[in-house]
Structure 1
Amino acid sequence: MIDDGSGPQKRHHPQTIGQRLRRLRKKRGLTQPELARKAGVSLDLVSKLERDVRESMSWTSMIKLARALDVDPGYIAGKGGHLEPVPGAAVLTVRDSVISPGLLPGLHPDHDGEPPTLDDLWQLIERGYGAYFAGEFGVLAAGIPQLIAESRLLQSADPAAAAGPLSHAWQLAASVLVHTGRDDAAAIAAERAVGAAKDGDDPWRLATHYGMYCWVMLHQGRLDESERLAVSAAADIEPSMSRASGEQAAAWGGLMLHAAVAAGTRGDAEDADEYLRIAGAGASRIGTDRRDYWTSFGPTHVAIQRTHIMTALQRPEIALRAARQVDRTGLFKVQYGRHLLNVSRALLDRNRSDEAEEVASRAQGLSTEWFRHQSFAKTLTFDLVERKTRLSRPLRDLVTAFEDPA
């Protein structure tokens, strides 16, 4: 096993991207030019990052450097596991719930007592998603171990009934783990979500969990695999739009958007455009924005992802045009916040830094805790700082969000 410096003995990440990058490069025995060639990025970028002249880079460049150094992108980004202080909210507790020895075949489950009713369990799931979409990751993390335990308790009594809520309990665990930089544990949780959903009788729910797995792989930098899985899973449930249920159309459309994001992130504009076109046609047939299985799809969400992808492809004018098609009504806080970050980046790329700063501040105002866990927000913030001769109060607040809470 390769020691990438992120094991138990060396959990603390150096403070800057440059320090982490330099440490990993030297550990691999690479010179700066060798790393640049291996990653397919410019030597100037590597040099400026390591000298802390630049404090950020695009997500695509981060993925390339991470793969060249054989680490998760989240390590270079410096994703932290700190959550708002809520009793029982330690990220490691969530991780331990996902990889508990009690889940091994042949062992007795590590829970007992009377199973909850299905209605009670769905209420717990509903509260969990409410915390997630509000950006309250500490509150969510505090409840996940109980949520998994209660779902498994019902599973031991009624596997078919428990399939739905248990799959979503695993999905919520994966979500917290991704946002706090534990992508490998998140992948295990996402796989458990798929496995639990397969024990049920709802193929559309299962499809949304495949979408979650695609999202986790995207954060791991596994772009080709993420795209292939999304396309394959979508093909398996591709609906006839004239006869499809809303749930089927939304599950299929969500997978097409995952494929578009993966293609756009790796820089393939042609494939990304095609996936967006297909998803957009489906959204037009639905005619409205839907939310099924806590997954959203419809015209607004196609516009949100087009904004995101065109921002990543450095096409800010197209991104800003797409953003004008987004209907804020009905969006969760974190959905709208992530969209605002893309709008801010597109504005900055158009040299409209004052507007970019104002939009980024609006995103932070939706949930400071969520904002602090977004590597994209951190990159954007330090790029804003580079454009300014003096820091305004809002920009100082953005910078403060990324200071080490310890």
Structure 2
Amino acid sequence: MRDGDTTLGQRLRALRMERGYSQQELAGRAGVSVDLVSMLERDVRESMSWASMIKLARALDVDPGALAGKSPHLEPVPGAAVLTVRDTVINPGLLPGLHPDHDGEPATPADLWRLVEKAYGAYFAGEFGVLAADLPNLIGECRLLESSDPATAATPLAHAWQLAACLLVHTGRDDAAAIAAERAIHAGRNGDDPWRLATLYGTYSWVMLHQGRLEAAEKLAADTADGIEPSLSRTKPQQLTAWGGLILHAAVASGARGDRARAEEYLRVATAGATRADADRHDYWVSFGPSHVAVQTAHIMTALRRPDTALKASARIQRADLFPVQYGRHLLNVGRSLLEQRRTDEAIEATSRARDLSPEWFRHQGFARSLVSDLVARKARLTTPLRDLVQTIGHLS
């Protein structure tokens, strides 16, 4: 699993040596076997479970992304730079009492919403370069309107910060993502929709998941869901979507901790809620319904190394219910589960379909790099489809 010129093993060894740990000491601190540490550092093994990744990252006092080797590099779109988005989030001009970065006539609310919708379209299509190029201007326009009309600007600004958080997670800047997610919540509190606000807490939970803060991520999602739990008598669809999305966040976090019983309990609750919807919905750019419960069931069971259960859940998914990157991430779970069953050629085919949805998105997925590495290890020679996958993630020596 390479990031530029370094493998996972090289990154692990460099961090271990920097802290002065022996392999035995690191294994003891992390609660993993010394054989795992040794095989990773020798590149005999090029991937590990997310749970092991988090344990090693904690022991080394780094974010999991530092080990996973998340790439900060985007497609060459004019104006696209992760650092520009980060600097927009961590900006001294946002300190109390300071004026927005630019003056001029504020955009109309309708114009702002068109920009927000375009940005979400780029995100769910995996066009991260386009999103990075557009986000600083979108945030600036929202802040300019906020200076004269805070109530009207609150909701589009909240979503602009939310998009920044999501992009920063995918490009390995989790701490900046947490700041952006917090800014989204503060902006959303000035709006008038408690269910929309709850979804922003869901984004914060998702950021914490990627930071390896699994218990905190689960608790935040579950507590927020409890605060907007639908009633049996009257529930608006948007409330059900917001609540269901949070329950699924909690399920994923508990599954990542290896707590299968707790994850399955959340999934049972989500399944019961999804039966109240005729089909999957997309409200506040959050998705919930029968297909998305099946997606997260497959995701959790893949992480728990239950490939039979994961693939069974996959059969319940309606492709039309998923945005491109949602379906792409699901196909990676399918690929991993097929590989666990030693159905290697089918796993390569599923992984290739995920890549074809958005090669740019694919390159930013640590899970994809890990999967491709294991596919390479399983095959005696590189077939054309597998070689194409290797070239996409930049793993070819």
TM-score range, shorter chain: over 0.9
- Check the 8 A contact 1:307/1:320 in 2, yes or no: yes
Q: 1:193-342 to 2 correspondence within 5 Å?
A: 193-342=184-333
What does residue range 121-140 of structure 1 map to in structure 2 within 5 Å? Answer: 121-140=112-131
| Partner secondary structure for residue 227 of structure 2 | helix
- 2:86 partner SS: helix
Superposition RMSD on alpha carbons, in Å?
1.2
Partner of 1:58: 49
Question: Which 5+ residue runs of structure 2 have no aligned equivalent?
Answer: none
Q: Tell me the distance in 2 between the aligned counterparts of 1:331 and 1:355.
A: 21
Distance 2:106 2:168 in 1: 26
Q: Which of the numbers 102, 107, 111 marks the counterpart of 1:111?
A: 102
1:3 corresponds to: none
Aligned partner of 1:167 among 158, 161, 170: 158
In the TM superposition, what is the alpha-carbon distance from 1:288 to its structure 2 partner?
1.3
Q: C-alpha distance in 2, partners of 1:26/1:145?
A: 38
Measure, in 1, the Cα distance between the counterparts of 2:83 and 2:199: 26
Which residue of structure 2 lines up, in the alignment, with residue 184 of structure 1? 175
Moved more, 109-118 or 302-311: 109-118
Which sits farther off after the overlay, 179-188 or 396-405? 396-405
Correspondence for 1:5: none
For 1:189 and 1:153, locate their aligned partners in 2 and report how far apart those are by CA, in whole Å.
18
Deviation at 1:25, TM superposition (A): 0.5
- What is the alpha-carbon distance in structure 2 between the residues aligned to residue 394 and residue 372 of structure 1? 16
Q: In the aligned structure 2, how far is the partner of 1:381 from the partner of 1:287? A: 37
In structure 2, the CA distance between the partners of 1:404 and 1:395, relative to structure 1 (3 Å rule), is closer
| Count of aligned pairs | 394
For the Cα contact (< 8 Å) 2:74–2:360, is it kept in 1?
yes
Question: Could you tell me how far 1:13 is from its partner in structure 2?
Answer: 7.5
**Cα distance in 1 for residues equivalent to 2:23 and 2:355:** 35
Unmatched segments (≥5 aa) in structure 1:
1-11
Letter in 2 for 1:211: G
- Do the aligned residues in 2 keep the contact of 1:116 with 1:150 (CA within 8 Å)? yes
Q: Deviations over 1:176-229 (max 9, x none)?
A: 100000000000000000110001110011011000001100000000000000
Shift in Å, 1:404: 7.5
Q: What is the CA–CA distance in structure 1 between the aligned matches of 2:28 and 2:310, rounded to whole Å?
A: 30
Matched, 1:383 2:374: yes
**Equivalent in 145, 148, 169 of residue 139 of structure 2:** 148
Shift of 1:53: 1.1
Amino acid in structure 1 at the alignment position of 2:354: A
Q: Which stretch of structure 1 is more off in the superposition, 366-375 or 54-63?
A: 54-63
Aligned mates of 1:75, 1:193 — CA distance in 2: 25
Q: Is the 8 A contact 1:190 1:212 kept in 2?
A: yes
Change (3 A) 1:13 1:400: closer
Residues 366-405 of structure 1: matches in 2 within 5 Å?
366-403=357-394
What is the distance in 2 between the residues matched to 1:231 and 1:356? 34
Which deviations, in whole Å up to 9, do the C-alpha atoms of 1:52-81 show, x marking residues without a partner? 111221222111110010000001111111
| 280-289 vs 135-144, which moves further | 280-289
**Contact (CA 8 Å) 2:311, 2:337: kept in 1 or not?**
yes
Aligned-residue sequence identity (percent) comes to 69
The separation in 1 between residues aligned to 2:8 and 2:270, in whole angstroms, is 36
- Cα deviation for residue 29 of structure 1 reads 1.2
The answer as to whether partners of 2:335 and 2:347 remain within 8 angstroms in 1 is yes
1:345 aligns with 2:356: no
Quote the offset at 1:364 in angstroms: 0.3
Range with greater deviation from structure 2 (28-37 or 269-278): 28-37
1:92 matched to 2:89? The reply is: no
Return structure 1 stretches of 4+ with deviation > 3 angstroms.
none
Summarize the Cα distance change of 1:148–1:251 in structure 2 as closer, same or farther, 3 Å threshold: same
For residues 246-271 of structure 1, the C-alpha deviation after alignment (integer angstroms, 9 at most, x for no partner) is 01010000000000000000100000
Hey, what's the Cα distance between the residues in 2 that align with 1:189 and 1:241?
35
Contact kept in structure 1, 2:4 and 2:394, CA below 8 Å:
no
Letter matched to residue 100 of structure 1: N
How many angstroms does 1:109 deviate by? 2.1
Separation in 2, partners of 1:103, 1:142: 20
SS in 2 for 1:401: helix
Instruction: Tell me the CA shift for residue 393 of structure 1.
Output: 0.8
What is aligned with 1:68? 59
TM-score w.r.t. structure 1 length? 0.95
Q: 1:80 is matched with which residue: 71, 76, 95? A: 71
Per the alignment, in what secondary structure is the counterpart of residue 199 of structure 1? coil
For the pair 1:158 / 2:149, whether they are aligned, the reply is: yes
Letter in 2 for 1:88: G
Name which structure has the greater RCO, CA cutoff 8 Å, separation 6+. Answer: 2
Counterparts of 1:39-58 in structure 2 under 5 Å? 39-58=30-49
Residue 397 of structure 1 and its aligned partner are, at CA, apart by 1.0
Q: CA deviation at 1:274?
A: 0.3
1:14 CA displacement: 5.7
